[in-house]
């Protein structure tokens, strides 16, 4: 992962986790309004360019949401695979609170540090995570060169 990707996922982690929970809960129940129309409404012309089957539309909508859930989960799992590269205790604590969605100022008050120091620790966290991914890519490149 590139530095900006790690940085963005660190910002988005908290709401992605919450979105996954909410989307999964919402997809458990069947959608409303899935019954076909009866009477004169059933004989009226339908709009062009879309299917009039409400069940199909609901399945298509849910399929898109499952794909979005899977996309979020893949990003989060990739990011979680980098947690072990953070070794410093302060950085681990900052990482924990950032993942909980806390602000720099809140974390700074909690830890007795300034919010600018928290930003520096966050930069160190992102650097450590991207350093690991760059090393992985370099070793993969070396393996490829050896294979050639």
Identify the pLDDT of residue 142.
46
**For residues 115 and 6, what is the distance between their CA atoms, to the nearest angstrom?**
20
Predicted confidence (pLDDT) per residue in 95-132, tens digit: 999 999 999 999 999 999 999 999 999 999 999 999 75
Contact by Cβ (8 Å): 104, 119: yes
* Residue 95 and residue 71 share a domain: no
**For residues 86 and 113, what is the distance between their CA atoms, to the nearest angstrom?**
19
* Residue 100 and residue 41 share a domain: no
* Residue 75 and residue 90 share a domain: no
Q: Which residue, 35, 55, 80, sits at the end of a domain?
A: 80
**For residues 31 and 4, what is the distance between their CA atoms, to the nearest angstrom?**
38
User: pTM to 2 decimals?
Assistant: 0.69
Range of the domain at 45: 1-80
Number of domains in the chain: 2
Match 């991207």 to its residue by tokens: 130
* Residue 74 and residue 124 share a domain: no
* Residue 98 and residue 59 share a domain: no
Give me the CATH number covering residue 142.
Answer: 1.10.10
Determine the 3-state secondary structure of 112 from DSSP: coil
């Amino acid at each position: 992962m590139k530095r900006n990707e790690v940085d963005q996922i660190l910002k988005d982690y908290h709401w992605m986790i919450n979105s996954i929970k909410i989307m999964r809960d919402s997809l458990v129940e069947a959608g409303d309004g899935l019954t076909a129309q009866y009477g004169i409404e059933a004989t009226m012309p339908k709009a062009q360019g879309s299917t009039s089957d409400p069940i199909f539309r609901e399945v298509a909508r849910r399929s898109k949401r499952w794909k979005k859930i899977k996309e979020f989960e893949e990003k989060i799992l990739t990011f979680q695979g980098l947690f072990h590269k953070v070794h410093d205790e302060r950085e681990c604590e900052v990482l924990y609170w950032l993942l909980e969605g806390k602000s720099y100022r809140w974390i700074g008050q909690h830890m007795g540090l300034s919010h600018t120091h928290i930003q520096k620790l966050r930069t160190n966290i992102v650097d450590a995570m991207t350093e690991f991914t760059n090393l992985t890519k370099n070793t993969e490149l070396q393996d490829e060169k050896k294979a050639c």
